Amino acid sequence: MAPIFAADTITSGDEAEVGDLLGVELEIGFRIVRDLPGDMAKMTAAQLIPYLKPVVVIELVDTRLAGHLAEDPVSKLADNQINAGLVIGETAEKWDGTDFGDVEARMQAGDDQLITGMASVPGGSALETVAALARQIGTHCGGLQKGQIVITGSLHPLTYYPAGTEVLGSIQSIGSVGVSLNGPPKKAA
């Protein structure tokens, strides 16, 4: 688990800067919409529901790996904490509190179809992932706060794309999200 800073979040439809390649992951997020009680670490997933609204997101993932290390599973695991940002899509405003385990999802990056149908949330329960995070961090650094978004894991394998790639995703009953991957800003002469 690693935080994604607010300065690294963008709204669906915006552009994301790409140096060489940028990874994309379609995920279910939960926006914390009310202040959580101090004992949030003891709350069950069901007790957290009134404090949450589902939101569809794309996590942007950078990498420091190149060459033979880029294919090494242990190196990739260690490098996996290097996020580059979060694209915030639509929120399910009329959510009834139903958990997300298997979802109907679509994700396209350029000409590649990354998901076209049913996808499983890592661990089988998006709400249990949020509850596990609440238990893990407790009140450390103030705990989970109103306005933050907790993401619950990629619905497909992490895949990297170059600048010039259009990325579009959707999760049924939540909404859609999209981002344009663009090259780094041009330096002044």
Q: Is residue 143 part of a domain?
A: yes
Q: Is residue 188 part of a domain?
A: no
What domain range includes position 68? 6-181
Q: Is residue 36 part of a domain?
A: yes
Q: Is residue 186 part of a domain?
A: no
**Percent of residues, the chain, with pLDDT higher than 90:** 70
Phi then psi dihedrals of residue 165, to 5 deg: -95, 130
Q: Which amino acid is at 23?
A: G
Question: How many structural domains does the chain have?
Answer: 1
Closest CA to 176 of 50, 87, 113: 87
Backbone torsion region of residue 188, taken as left when φ is above 0, otherwise alpha when ψ lies between -120 and 50, otherwise beta: beta
d(C-alpha 141, C-alpha 137), whole Å: 8
Write the CATH number for 171.
3.90.850.10
pLDDT in the model for residue 84: 85
Q: Is the pLDDT of residue 189 over 50?
A: no
Q: Is residue 136 part of a domain?
A: yes
Determine the average pLDDT of the residues in 120-143.
Answer: 90
Q: Is the pLDDT of residue 175 over 50?
A: yes
Q: Label residue 19 by pLDDT band (50, 70, 90).
A: confident
Determine the average pLDDT of the residues in 125-154.
Answer: 91
Q: What is the mean pLDDT of the chain?
A: 89
Q: Is residue 83 part of a domain?
A: yes
Q: Is residue 121 part of a domain?
A: yes
pLDDT in the model for residue 6: 87
